[in-house]
Amino acid sequence: MITKYQRVNALYPNIMVLKCAAEIIQEGGVVAFPTETVYGLGADGFNEDALEKIFIAKGRPMDNPLILHIASSREIVDVASYISARAKKAITAFWPGPLTLVLPKNPQVPDQVSAGLSTVAVRMPAHPIALKLIKLARVPVAAPSANLSGRPSPTTGFHVLKDLKGKIDMIVDGGPCRWGIESTVVDFTDEIPTILRPGAVTREMLESVVGQVIYDPGLKNKQVVPKSPGVKYLHYAPRGDMYLIQGDNSQLIVAKLKELIQSYKGNGKRVALIATNEIIGMIDDLKLDFNLDYIGNLGSKYEQELIASRVYHLLRNCDRFNIDIILTEGLSEEGLGAAIMNRLLKASGNKVIKA
Ligand code: AMP
Ligand code: MG
């Protein structure tokens, strides 16, 4: 398959390009497009054949449901059968934006979208290209992240091209995504809203609007099955083996990093360090002394938004440089940190080393 590739200005999108993309969706094709979280791989949410193409292109397990994207909150009645008062408050506060609501499903939504569940996930994105494209397509657009299943999510059009060229109909490249990590997924079907996947809308932000919000126990406790089917799979992972060095004392973290780098380099491995500016600053001699193969700077630990927007790009760079071993540091789980740490832990397959 030939994949059409078009660059579009994110603020003033070329309407002819978006019309072409919308027509492809209406005709049952699949199109990658930017959102403010990560790139999505979109298809007509009511067309069963088109939905199947998403799963095939990504190699996505069929039991992992899709998020439906809409261009106006009024369209929510087409996909959900009941919207609680708390859900309405959250929509008013956070849409358009990086918040996905899990709600009781409208029976007309195909089973491929919900993977057979009685609920459906829905979001109104805040990106001008995404909104215009969905509006032009005139259907709810089912769109998981536009990467091969299991790989780090795409935050640029180039990432999509690397993963899906030849497998999808079109890529609309609107430049880098603002947030760089996926939306917060919150289940509003129970009395107390439950975070199924942390994201840019934090627990604190949600609680200020809807009252008590809890995390799905399955997110952290391996004995509990997560409520979001996608969460159980290996995710966001680079090809190399990744380890997270966790501790409260940065001197100890640095000492542990040096010890590990030395040992892996001694064994002939290609080693990368992905760390904050503060940690990298403490080991300036690293590249010279240990001949590190790649250093990815996440930015300052005080700039969580910057870290979020960089993390997938740096993980992908490790693949570009054929890295065998990726060492990274544990970060604060305050605010946006909860989502960042969730992705780092997943990407590393929960391989944590205490310092
Ligand atoms: P992706 O769009 O690839 O970032 O993944 C969407 C996430 O939303 C996955 O973790 C899914 O398991 C989750 N999700 C989608 N629909 C539902 C649903 N009805 N109930 C629970 N989780 C869902
Ligand atoms: Mg995904």
Residue 272 has pLDDT above 70, yes or no: yes
Pocket of ligand 1 (CB under 6 A): 64-65, 67, 102, 114, 117, 119-121, 144-145, 182, 185, 196-197, 227-231
Distance 267 CA to ligand 2 centre (A): 34
Q: Which atom of ligand 1 is nearest to the CA of 229?
A: 12
What is the SS3 assignment for 47-61?
CHHHHHHHHHHHCCC
| Measured distance CA(31)–CA(54) in Å, rounded | 9
Q: Summarize the confidence of residues 125-142 as an average pLDDT.
A: 98
Specify the pLDDT at position 296. Answer: 96
User: Which atom belonging to ligand 1 lies closest to the Cα atom of 197?
Assistant: 10
Question: What is the model's pLDDT at position 286?
Answer: 62
Q: Which residues contact 188 (CB under 8 A, 6 or more apart)?
A: 83, 84, 86, 87, 90, 101, 102, 103
Q: How many CB atoms lie within 10 A of CB 92?
A: 10
Pocket perturbation via mutation, ligand 1, pick of 33, 67, 141 by most ligand atoms within 8 A of CB? 67
- Average pLDDT (71-76) is 97
Q: According to the model, what pLDDT value does residue 78 have?
A: 96
229 falls in which pLDDT band (50, 70, 90)? Answer: confident
Predicted confidence (pLDDT) per residue in 177-197, tens digit: 999 999 999 999 999 999 999
Cα of 325 vs centre of ligand 2, distance in Å, is 23
If you average pLDDT over every residue of the chain, what do you get?
95
Q: 81, 141, 228, 235: which to mutate for ligand 1, most atoms within 8 A of CB?
A: 228
Stated as kind and residue range, the H or E segment containing 307 is helix 304-320
- The rounded percent of the chain whose pLDDT value lies above 90 is 90
Query: Residue 158's pLDDT is what?
Result: 97
Ligand 1 atom 11, closest CA: 230
Taking CA atoms only, the protein residue closest to ligand 1 atom 10 is 230
For residue range 251-271, list pLDDT tens digits in order.
Answer: 999 999 999 999 999 999 999
Tens digits of residue pLDDT in 274-324: 999 999 988 866 666 778 999 999 999 999 999 999 999 999 999 999 999
**Predicted confidence (pLDDT) at residue 224 exceeds the cutoff of 90:** no
Residue 166's pLDDT band, with cuts at 50, 70 and 90, is: very high
Q: What is the pLDDT of residue 122?
A: 98
Tokens 């956070």, located at residue: 94
Q: What are phi and psi of 213, to 5 degrees?
A: -135, 135
Cα–Cα dist 80/132, whole Å: 22
Structural domains in the chain? 4-228 (3.90.870.10), 241-354 (3.40.50.11030)
